[in-house]
Amino acid sequence: MTAISHKQPPPPTAIVIFGANGDLTRRLIVPALYNLARTGMLPPRFALIGVDHNDKTTEDWQSNLKQFLAETLAKNNESLDEKLWQPIARGMNFLKGDFEDDGAYSKLADLLAELDIKDDLGGNALFYMAVADRFFAPIAGKLGKAGLARQDGRNFRRLIVEKPFGHDLASAKALNKCLLEYFAEEQIYRIDHFLGKETVQNIMALRFANGLFEPIWNRDRIDHVQITVAESIGIEGRGNFYEKTGALRDMLPNHLFQLVAMTAMEPPVSFEAEDIRAKKAEMFKAVHSLSLGDVVRGQYDAGSVAGQAVPAYRAEENVAADSNIETFVAARVLIDNWRWAGVPFYLRTGKRLATRSTEIAIRFKRAPFALFRETPMDELDADWLILRVQPDESIRLRFNAKRPGPAMALESVAMEFKYKDWFKQAPAVGYETLIYDCLIGDTTLFQRADQVEAAWGVVEPVLLGWESVAPRHFPNYSAGSEGPIAANDLLARDGRSWRAIK
Ligand code: BG6
């Protein structure tokens, strides 16, 4: 899969970025290319074509990106290394063009042909759609019509599609249909950046590279699973986007479901992309569709986060003063298969929560406690395995131990592995891995059409239900809290409670 240090540089390729002047290009794609250069994993010969509608020259594009990268590196006390930057800068070409104008695609075809000869790129091209989602279908269609999606067995043409992939089941299906008109499934790389996170990929290593966990990874031993993606940030100036999206669409059928899939999928027979993707797809098929009773929504009020006063969602820029958009969602997900029947997966995610914390917490069943009848139940905290995805990436096992002293008194203790302490480096953010995998044609970490559609299918009844019933008590949680009280009821009715967000 993605152990970059053991891999070869990818083949010569032209990377074409639609949305060359956008935030994603600046913040994630170009830094990822720089990091690939650092590990010697850029294609030995490559071109970087930036397409956007602004009046810019290649020199402007180069210098803007360089300046932003240098500023980002400076925040980590690093300075930009010209030796790494130069090969990227040399490959850059800016092409002014409107994403919906046929003319832009014929210019692109000419430029690709010219660079292909000049730089000997083997006819390979990777089209990266770093643009608003409304452009995905038009760009793919126009690339197709211009003959740019065509592969002849010796070269490759690939398409990277960012999130959001549709806003409900029908739109996801329609988008898949458009993309598949000109590109074959194996040419399409649907990104969910959570899958690029080292800690998320490590779930597979933990489960399948150890004899210890898999035998107890089932309903005989596991009581329930809690998956939390808590954010302390608000909507970061994205009011227009968020008012159309909300927490459920933004996070649940994509990022949180990917964490569920990694935790719940059956072991694949190999690490081949199709074997892994097939197991994930099977898992999604076994997930019950959510009903309104399985979900709780919330919206933040004014409050304080890390000691700073912050406004209510309804007071954010480009947000309606009476907005009913949710900034928090919690759900109770059931997987109807032999491994998981009867083991709820409780998911929650929200903006402006107490702190930033993403974790998968697996709670094992209690021991039969006849031996400890005198010990109050809440002191007999059951065993937990906590996979901390970010920040402070770690894996922690909590279990009971005898407190030193004459009495048989128990205390919950922990063993912990921390990425930073063990590997002496923080885990990578992930875009490097995803771009590299796309360059070498490894689809393991990308979503297949059926997965995306199955995930939308699970949340569809809630989307429809929420459209017809307005939330009653919005805003219903203070910024800086752990979310709405109603989210506690979701677990309380099963006799359980959430772990603290910390
Ligand atoms: C994005 C969402 O996909 O993921 C954002 O649109 C969210 O709203 C972000 O903040 C979270 O990603 P990360 O990597 O910062 O945890």
Note the pLDDT of residue 153: 87
pLDDT digits (tens, 9 = 90+) for 86-118: 999 999 999 999 999 999 999 999 999 999 999
Could you tell me whether strands 357-364 and 384-390 are parallel, antiparallel, or unpaired per DSSP bridges? Answer: antiparallel
Note the pLDDT of residue 426: 64
Relative orientation angle of helices 257-264 and 198-208, to the nearest 10 degrees: 20
Question: Which atom belonging to ligand 1 lies closest to the Cα atom of 429?
Answer: 14
Report the separation in Å between the CA atom of 296 and the middle of ligand 1, taken as the mean of its atom positions: 20
* Mutate-to-test residue for ligand 1 from 190, 254, 255, 447, highest number of ligand atoms within 8 A of CB: 255
Report the separation in Å between the CA atom of 132 and the middle of ligand 1, taken as the mean of its atom positions: 15
| Sequence-separated (6 or more) residues with CB below 8 Å from residue 376 | none
Report the separation in Å between the CA atom of 256 and the middle of ligand 1, taken as the mean of its atom positions: 11
Spatial separation of the C-alpha atoms in residues 36 and 491, rounded to whole Å: 44
Q: Is residue 65 a contact partner of residue 111, using CB atoms and an 8 Å limit?
A: no
* Mutate-to-test residue for ligand 1 from 167, 231, 359, highest number of ligand atoms within 8 A of CB: 231
Q: Which CATH class is domain 195-427+449-492?
A: alpha beta
Q: Is residue 3 a contact partner of residue 36, using CB atoms and an 8 Å limit?
A: no
Half-sphere CA count of 306, side-chain side, radius 13 A: 8
Note the pLDDT of residue 4: 44
Question: Which atom belonging to ligand 1 lies closest to the Cα atom of 194?
Answer: 14
Concerning whether 255 is annotated as a catalytic residue, the answer is yes
Ligand 1 residue neighbourhood (C-beta within 6 Å): 163, 231, 250
The helices-and-strands tally (H runs, E runs) of the chain is 15, 18
Torsion of CA 23, 27, 33, 35, to 10 degrees: 180
Report the separation in Å between the CA atom of 183 and the middle of ligand 1, taken as the mean of its atom positions: 28
Report the separation in Å between the CA atom of 351 and the middle of ligand 1, taken as the mean of its atom positions: 10
Question: Which atom belonging to ligand 1 lies closest to the Cα atom of 254?
Answer: 3
6, 53, 224, 255: the catalytic one is 255
Grouping H, G, I as helix, E, B as strand and the rest as coil, residue 410 is strand
pLDDT digits (tens, 9 = 90+) for 298-331: 999 999 999 999 999 999 999 999 999 999 999 9
The full DSSP string for 340-394 is TTT--EEEEEESSBSS-EEEEEEEEPPPP-GGGTTS-GGGS---EEEEEEESS-E
Note the pLDDT of residue 429: 61
Report the separation in Å between the CA atom of 176 and the middle of ligand 1, taken as the mean of its atom positions: 23
Tokens of 492: 């309380």
Residue type, 146: A
Tokens of 112: 């690709």
CATH 3.30.1360.70 fits 4-162, yes or no: no
What residue owns the CA closest to ligand 1's atom 5?
250
Spatial separation of the C-alpha atoms in residues 372 and 400, rounded to whole Å: 12
Grouping H, G, I as helix, E, B as strand and the rest as coil, residue 476 is coil
- Nearest Cα to 256, choosing from 317, 340, 195? 195
* Mutate-to-test residue for ligand 1 from 250, 328, 359, highest number of ligand atoms within 8 A of CB: 250
Spatial separation of the C-alpha atoms in residues 437 and 65, rounded to whole Å: 23
Could you tell me whether strands 357-364 and 222-230 are parallel, antiparallel, or unpaired per DSSP bridges? Answer: antiparallel
Grouping H, G, I as helix, E, B as strand and the rest as coil, residue 401 is strand
Note the pLDDT of residue 427: 61
Domain boundaries, the chain: 4-162, 195-427+449-492
Question: Which atom belonging to ligand 1 lies closest to the Cα atom of 197?
Answer: 14
What residue owns the CA closest to ligand 1's atom 4?
251
* Average pLDDT per block of 10 residues along the chain, 502 residues long: 62 97 94 92 95 94 96 91 95 96 97 96 97 96 97 94 95 97 97 92 94 96 97 95 96 97 96 92 94 97 96 98 97 97 98 97 86 67 91 93 85 92 75 94 94 96 95 96 96 95 94
Burial class (CB within 10 angstroms; exposed 0-12, middle 13-18, buried 19+) of 222:
buried
Spatial separation of the C-alpha atoms in residues 157 and 301, rounded to whole Å: 47
| Sequence-separated (6 or more) residues with CB below 8 Å from residue 33 | 15, 42, 48, 88, 435
With 0.75 as the threshold, say if the pTM is over it: yes
Question: Which atom belonging to ligand 1 lies closest to the Cα atom of 242?
Answer: 8
| Sequence-separated (6 or more) residues with CB below 8 Å from residue 278 | 268
What residue owns the CA closest to ligand 1's atom 2?
250
